[in-house]
Structures are given as structure tokens and as C-alpha cells.
């Protein structure tokens, strides 16, 4: 008889706590912080070393400024195959930067060394 009472009380307790849990109003989730406005500013570096663009394919988000660094001992150029950009001569140790504001694949070469493998910048929209 006593056992039944205890079990009964336990059942009631479980029911009450169950109900309590389901009716508890959870604190509001913290509102996500507003992300930085649309202006995304990222940078990508490409080295020109041993007559190669490293990396030869750079995938970047739109709006990225790509900077080429001439790590060789001779001048190179970064010249777009489609004509959209051209660094002119980049002396050893110097850099050239170009900001990509349009999505697409931009292939470039070095005018001084036509045998150099072309590089590519792939800009995601």
C-alpha cells in the first residue's frame, strides 16, 4: 500500500515536472549580430617565382584585390589575355595589384616570357 503511494507520488512528480518543462518559456535566442555591410574586402597574393605564377589558379570572391609579387630576378608582367588588365613591367621585388569587381575567369600571361605557363584568377559571383 505504501509502495503504491510512493509510486503514485513519483508518477505525479514526473507528470508535473514534464508539464513544467513543456510550458517553460525558453529565454529568447540572442538575435544574430548584424553582419558587416555588403562591402567585402579580401586580398589574395600570387607570387611570381621561377617563371611561374604561384598559385597558377586563384579562386577568389568578387571584390578581391589580387597582388602579384615578383620574386624573380628579372622583370615580369601580369597581362590579361582578354585585355582587361595589364601590369606593365614588374621589376624584381615589386608588386602589382588589381581589384576584381566582376565574376568570371581571368586568364593572364607574362608578355616578357611567352613560354611561362598562364595564370588564372577565378572570381566567384
Residues of this chain that bind Cu ion (CB under 5 A): 76, 110, 112-113
- Give Cβ neighbours of residue 98 (< 8 Å, ≥ 6 apart): 65, 66, 78, 85, 87
* CA dist., res. 16 & res. 14, Å (int): 5
Instruction: Tell me which residue has its CB nearest to Cu ion.
Output: 110
When the beta carbons of 27 and 114 are compared against Cu ion, the nearer one is: 114
* CA dist., res. 93 & res. 49, Å (int): 11
In angstroms, give the least distance from the CB of 38 to Cu ion: 36
In angstroms, give the least distance from the CB of 88 to Cu ion: 12
In angstroms, give the least distance from the CB of 125 to Cu ion: 30
Amino acid at each position: 500500500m505504501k509502495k503504491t503511494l510512493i509510486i503514485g507520488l513519483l508518477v505525479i512528480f514526473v507528470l508535473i515536472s514534464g508539464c513544467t518543462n513543456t510550458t517553460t518559456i525558453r529565454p529568447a535566442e540572442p538575435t544574430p549580430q548584424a553582419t558587416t555591410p555588403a562591402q567585402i574586402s579580401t586580398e589574395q597574393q600570387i607570387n611570381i617565382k621561377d617563371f611561374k605564377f604561384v598559385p597558377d589558379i586563384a579562386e577568389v570572391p568578387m571584390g578581391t584585390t589580387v597582388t602579384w609579387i615578383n620574386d624573380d630576378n628579372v622583370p615580369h608582367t601580369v597581362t590579361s589575355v582578354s585585355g582587361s588588365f595589364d601590369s606593365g613591367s614588374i621589376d624584381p621585388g615589386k608588386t602589382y595589384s588589381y581589384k576584381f569587381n566582376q565574376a568570371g575567369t581571368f586568364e593572364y600571361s607574362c608578355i616578357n616570357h611567352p613560354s611561362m605557363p598562364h595564370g588564372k584568377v577565378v572570381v566567384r559571383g
